[in-house]
Amino acid sequence: MNRNHVFSWLWLWLCLPWVVQAAPASMDHLKRYAVHEPYEDVREMLELAITERGLVINNVLHIGEMLERTRKAVGSKRRIYLKAEALAFCSALLSRKMMEADPHNIVFCPYLIFIYVLPEQPDTVYLAYRRPLGNVDPASGKVLAEVEALLESIVQDVL
């Protein structure tokens, strides 16, 4: 083996951990569920599942409308969603615990649950949320697991 070949293998061996970490981890960053019910019914059940826990929906993001409204302006012909919204809310208790564990955990607030319908699947309503993941300290990890459990329980109530 010549010297250049050895250095190539050594470089590959040293850089491999970064290459592996940079690869997207399929669907680890989100949870997604499909429901075969009318959008309006699923949307109402989602809103109830949030508010029945004493949580306040402080914003509704009309993502589908924004993308459709700006489609021509950005030079696109493709319609991405028939309907798409995100409901934003927080839990005062969990948010406080999360930010007391680490003030930088502010990036995980507010919590969002997305509801959308794709043009190719007009009879399927998707519910999804971003998993609060990250390379965090143990205290943050514990409360972020509680946040994920809350998001999952809300979605399960709708299903």
User: How is the chain split into domains, by residue range?
Assistant: 27-158
Provide the whole-model pTM: 0.81
Q: Residue 104: what pLDDT?
A: 94
The string of pLDDT tens digits covering residues 103-146 is: 999 999 999 999 999 999 999 999 999 999 877 889 999 999 99
* CATH code of the domain occupying 27-158: 3.30.310.70
Report the pLDDT value the prediction gives residue 26, as an integer from 0 to 100: 62
In angstroms, rounded to a whole number, what is the distance separating the alpha carbons of residues 28 and 130?
9
Q: 137, 127 in Cβ contact below 8 A?
A: no
CA pair distance 144, 100, nearest whole angstrom: 12
Q: What is the pLDDT of residue 19?
A: 39
The list of the chain residues with pLDDT below 70 reads: 1-26
Do 127 and 43 contact (CB within 8 A), yes or no? Answer: no
Whole-number Å distance between alpha carbons of 128 and 115: 7
The reported pLDDT for the residue numbered 6 is: 44
